[in-house]
Amino acid sequence: MIELPGDHPLPHSELATQDPLIFILPKGGILYRHHQKIHDPVYFGKRGDYRFDDPECPNMGCFGVLNAGADPECCLLESCGPTTGVPAVSISYLDVRAISRMELTGPLRFVDLVSDGGLASIGADGRLATGSYTIAQKWSAALRKHRCKPDGIRYRSRHAPERTAYAIYERAPMSFNVTSMGSFTDSANEVLIKRILKTYNFALL
């Protein structure tokens, strides 16, 4: 017997004629990245490792995707989401990574899978943000080509659905003014990391 609902369906033929709900993050809006210190925070991945990457990655000509969060909490949970039943993060993991604050130099338009009616506007459901990466990547490619010309996708974090994540399609690096907040283990971020550990019952190893 097949267990329902199973995987999310692939993009459907009516998608091109539908009107996705659009969320506009204005100029001056703030997003966050949690990334290795040795790498630039403005990085559009082309390896196909993440949910809304180009399904053609890593082939030549594929588009890149930058993953960001609406707050540092989302970034930490998305970058090191807990193994089921083992909610923990190591100090060594955090020490080599930084939080970056990214201010938009212009507005960005996102297909909105968070607000009321967003998923229904494209004939999708919540499995798009929690299920198969292979299927989600095909949706990402289809939405990127949509006539509404989105700059990316706004969706709920799989590890913390109350948090909002963003997948931003490849664009000029000057789209962001970036400020480093240092590591989660820096003294300036002590209150922040303690709050996250308490809220999500994480252990610091």
Using DSSP bridges, classify how beta strands 108-112 and 152-156 pair: parallel, antiparallel or unpaired: parallel
Per-residue pLDDT of the chain (205 residues; tens, 9 = 90+): 566 778 999 999 999 999 999 999 999 999 999 999 999 999 999 999 999 999 999 999 999 999 999 999 999 988 876 555 667 888 999 999 999 999 999 999 999 999 999 999 999 999 999 999 999 999 999 999 999 999 999 999 998 999 999 999 999 989 999 999 999 999 999 999 999 999 988 888 8
Distance CA 52, CA 50 (A): 6
Helix (H) or strand (E) holding 142: helix 133-144
pTM: 0.93
pLDDT of residue 139: 98
pLDDT of residue 156: 97
pLDDT of residue 5: 79
Q: Per-domain residue ranges for the chain?
A: 22-204
pLDDT of residue 85: 60
pLDDT of residue 61: 92
Q: Six-digit token pair at 2?
A: 């097949």
pLDDT of residue 83: 56
Residue whose tokens read 């996250």: 196
Helix (H) or strand (E) holding 35: strand 30-36
pLDDT of residue 100: 97
Phi, psi of 204 (to 5 degrees): -100, 115
Own/partner contacts of 122-128, CB < 8 Å, gap of 24 or more, are 122/15, 122/18, 122/20, 123/12, 123/14, 123/15, 123/18, 124/8, 125/5, 125/8, 126/156, 127/5, 127/7, 127/8, 128/8, 128/155
SS3 of residue 163 by DSSP: coil
